[in-house]
Amino acid sequence: MFTIAAIAVMGGALFGGTFTAQLNATASDVKSDVSALQKIQEMGGLELVMPGAFAEMGDCDSAAYEGRTVVDFPLTGVSITLPSGLAGDFNAMTFSEQIPGPTLRVTQGDVVRMTLTVPEGEATPHGNDMHASQVTAVPTFGAVQPGTSKTYCYIAEVPGVYKYHCSGVNVAAMDQHVLQGMYGIAIVDPIDGYSKLMVEKTAVNENGDVIRDRQFYSPDALEFSLQYNQLYLTDGSYDQTKMFGHQHTLTTVNGQALGYVPNEIHNLLNQSGDIFFLQPYNSMDLHQYQSQLLFTPVGVHNRIFIENHGNEPVFFHIVGEILDRVTQGNRVQSHGTETWLLGGSQNMIVDIVFDEPGLYVGVNHDYAAIYTGAVTIWAAGLPLPNINETVTAISTELYPVIDGAVAAGSYAGALGNPYDAIPPYGPQSIAHPAKNVHCICSDAVAQAQADSGAVELWVAIPAILEESARVAAEAAEAEG
Smallest distance from the beta carbon of 126 to Cu ion, in angstroms?
3
Smallest distance from the beta carbon of 76 to Cu ion, in angstroms?
11
β-bridge partners, 148: 118
The tally of CA atoms less than 13 A away on the side-chain side of residue 140 is 19
Contacting range for Cu ion; rule: CB under 5 A; set: 179-187, 202-210, 294-302, 361-369: 179-187
Antiparallel, parallel or unpaired: β 233-234 and 339-342: unpaired
Nearer residue to Cu ion within complex by CB, 123 or 268: 123
Smallest distance from the beta carbon of 90 to Cu ion, in angstroms?
15
What is the amino acid identity at position 90? F
C-alpha to C-alpha distance for 123 and 356, rounded to whole angstroms: 51
Smallest distance from the beta carbon of 49 to Cu ion, in angstroms?
22
- 68 and 111 Cβ atoms separated by less than 8 Å: yes
* Helix/strand/coil for 128: coil
C-alpha to C-alpha distance for 477 and 480, rounded to whole angstroms: 5
Nearer residue to Cu ion within complex by CB, 177 or 432: 177
Nearer residue to Cu ion within complex by CB, 92 or 182: 182
Nearer residue to Cu ion within complex by CB, 143 or 286: 143
C-alpha to C-alpha distance for 71 and 83, rounded to whole angstroms: 32
Question: Is 165 one of the annotated binding-site residues?
Answer: yes
Nearer residue to Cu ion within complex by CB, 123 or 359: 123
Question: Is 365 one of the annotated binding-site residues?
Answer: yes
Question: Is 131 one of the annotated binding-site residues?
Answer: yes
Nearer residue to Cu ion within complex by CB, 193 or 236: 236
Question: Is 182 one of the annotated binding-site residues?
Answer: yes
Nearer residue to Cu ion within complex by CB, 118 or 391: 118
Smallest distance from the beta carbon of 94 to Cu ion, in angstroms?
9
- 161 and 346 Cβ atoms separated by less than 8 Å: no
What is the amino acid identity at position 290? Q
Q: How many residues bind Cu ion (CB under 5 A)?
A: 4
Contacting range for Cu ion; rule: CB under 5 A; set: 122-130, 367-375, 439-447, 459-467: 122-130
Which DSSP helix (H) or strand (E) runs through 459? helix 457-479
Question: Is 335 one of the annotated binding-site residues?
Answer: no
Q: Max CA-CA distance within the chain? A: 88
- 318 and 352 Cβ atoms separated by less than 8 Å: yes
Per the document, the length of the chain is 480
Chain residues 247-276 in contact with Cu ion, contact rule CB under 5 A: none
- Residues in contact with Cu ion, shown as a per-residue x/- string from 276 to 315 under the rule CB under 5 A: ----------------------------------------
C-alpha to C-alpha distance for 88 and 100, rounded to whole angstroms: 18
Smallest distance from the beta carbon of 26 to Cu ion, in angstroms?
11
* Helix/strand/coil for 133: coil
Smallest distance from the beta carbon of 128 to Cu ion, in angstroms?
8
Query: Is the N-terminal amide bond of 313 cis, ω within 30° of 0?
Result: no
Smallest distance from the beta carbon of 311 to Cu ion, in angstroms?
16
Nearer residue to Cu ion within complex by CB, 126 or 438: 126
Question: Is 246 one of the annotated binding-site residues?
Answer: no
Is residue 215 classed exposed, middle or buried when 0-12, 13-18 and 19+ CB atoms within 10 A define those classes?
A: middle
Smallest distance from the beta carbon of 182 to Cu ion, in angstroms?
5
Nearer residue to Cu ion within complex by CB, 252 or 302: 252
C-alpha to C-alpha distance for 386 and 291, rounded to whole angstroms: 20
- 128 and 100 Cβ atoms separated by less than 8 Å: no
Chain residues 157-176 in contact with Cu ion, contact rule CB under 5 A: 166
H-state helical runs in 13-80: 35-43
Among 182, 250, 363, 412, binds Cu ion (CB under 5 A): 182
Contacting range for Cu ion; rule: CB under 5 A; set: 78-86, 119-127, 279-287, 408-416: 119-127
The tally of CA atoms less than 13 A away on the side-chain side of residue 386 is 11
Smallest distance from the beta carbon of 93 to Cu ion, in angstroms?
5
Contacting range for Cu ion; rule: CB under 5 A; set: 38-46, 182-190, 197-205, 446-454: 182-190
Query: Is the N-terminal amide bond of 383 cis, ω within 30° of 0?
Result: no
Q: Does 177 bind Cu ion (CB under 5 A)?
A: yes
- Give 403's DSSP letter: H
Nearer residue to Cu ion within complex by CB, 163 or 177: 177
C-alpha to C-alpha distance for 260 and 449, rounded to whole angstroms: 18
Chain residues 318-377 in contact with Cu ion, contact rule CB under 5 A: none
**Which residues form the interface with Cu ion (CB under 5 A)?**
126, 166, 177, 182
Binding site per annotation, positions: 126, 131, 165-166, 177, 182, 365
Binding site per annotation, positions for Cu cation: 126, 131, 165-166, 177, 182, 365
